[in-house]
Amino acid sequence: MGKLDGRVAIVTGGASGIGKASADLFAREGAKVVVCDWDERGGMDTVTAICSAGGEATFVRTDVSNEADVRSMVTSTVERYGRLDVLFNNAGIEGHMGVPTGETSLEDWNRVIAVNLTGVFLGCRYAIPEMLKNGGGSIVNNASVAGMVGFAGIPAYCASKGGVVQLTKTTALEYATQGIRVNCLCPGVIDTPMVRRAAPSDADVAGYSAMEPVGRLGRPEEVAALALFLAADDSSFITGAIIPVDGGFVAR
């Protein structure tokens, strides 16, 4: 018996990295998974892999910074599967890196905030009413260790992820008595396409690995395992939690 048997889950940013690994895992654990991303080809690849393995999934092209897209994402999920039980607000972008606050463009700031923070808000905004109809659900937000500590040169990213941390706490308190749990995971440096864009060479990867006390990059599957724990009943007494999955980075 799977941990998510009979449940319907949305995973944003499901075309690659942590989102793809989580969609795969949720499906193996019995969920009907709606994979959402603006990368249609990658999203369809995730759905094909899930269905080929015997799971059930569908793709909805979504720009999480667009309110109409997010509304449609939730509406189409409920129309297809009749309910919504789990939302993994995973989609995110890094923006321009290595640019200090005094040189960051308003355009870059707005785009990062729109995807990373407003996208999470919109996901919660439209998922919560549907979850309440069924007596509750679980929302998992993907922030970052950059939402817990500062990093020079990525002000918009840090601000967006810090906002996700605070939004998680607030929303968890608002719906604690109504059956909706809201938690936040904070990955360290995970071996994803986003990180590979920032670390294209072996030397760059070694530098990122050295940031982690365990001495290596994390794997998307390791973050997906935490997302599953927070989505499932195993974490039934946990809400408003901010949990690093970072190889000990924040501890150091």
* Whole-number pLDDT of residue 215: 87
**Structural domain contains residue 115:** yes
Q: What are phi and psi of 126, to 5 degrees?
A: -95, -20
Q: Does residue 131 sit within a domain?
A: yes
Does residue 209 sit within a domain? no
Residue 122 included in any domain: yes
Whether 185 maps to a domain, the answer reads yes
* DSSP per-residue codes, 114-139: IIIIIHHHHHHHHHHHHHHHTT-EEE
- In a domain, residue 54? The reply is yes
Query: What amino acid positions are annotated as catalytic residues?
Result: 157
- Note the pLDDT tens digit of each residue in 129-172: 999 999 999 999 999 999 999 999 999 999 999 999 999 999 99
Predicted confidence at residue 191, as pLDDT, reads 82
Q: Which residues of 71-92 are buried (b: 16+ CB within 10 A; e: fewer)?
A: ebbbebbbeebeebbbbbbbbb
pLDDT reading at 34 higher than 90: yes
pLDDT tens-digit map of 79-126: 999 999 999 999 999 889 899 999 999 999 999 999 999 999 999 999
- Domain residue limits at 225: 8-192+220-242
**What is the rounded average pLDDT of the residues 177-187?**
98
Q: Supply the pLDDT for residue 233.
A: 97
Q: What is the pLDDT of residues 211-245, one digit of tens each?
A: 788 888 889 999 999 999 999 999 999 999 999 99
- Is 214 domain-assigned? no
Is residue 21's pLDDT more than 90? Answer: yes
- CATH number for the domain spanning 169: value is 3.40.50.720
Cα separation values, 166 from 88, 143, 171, 172, 240, Å: 16, 10, 9, 10, 9
Cβ atoms 100, 155 nearer than 8 A = yes
The number of folded domains in the chain is 1
Within-domain flag for 68 = yes
Q: What are phi and psi of 65, to 5 degrees?
A: -85, -5
The full DSSP string for 46-113 is: HHHHHHHTT-EEEEEE--TT-HHHHHHHHHHHHHHHS---EEEE------S-S--GGG--HHHHHHHH
Angle at 14 between CA 86 and CA 42, to 5 degrees: 155
Beta strands 56-61 and 242-245, pairing class: unpaired
In this predicted structure, what is the pLDDT of residue 210? 72
Question: Residue 195 pLDDT > 70, yes or no?
Answer: no
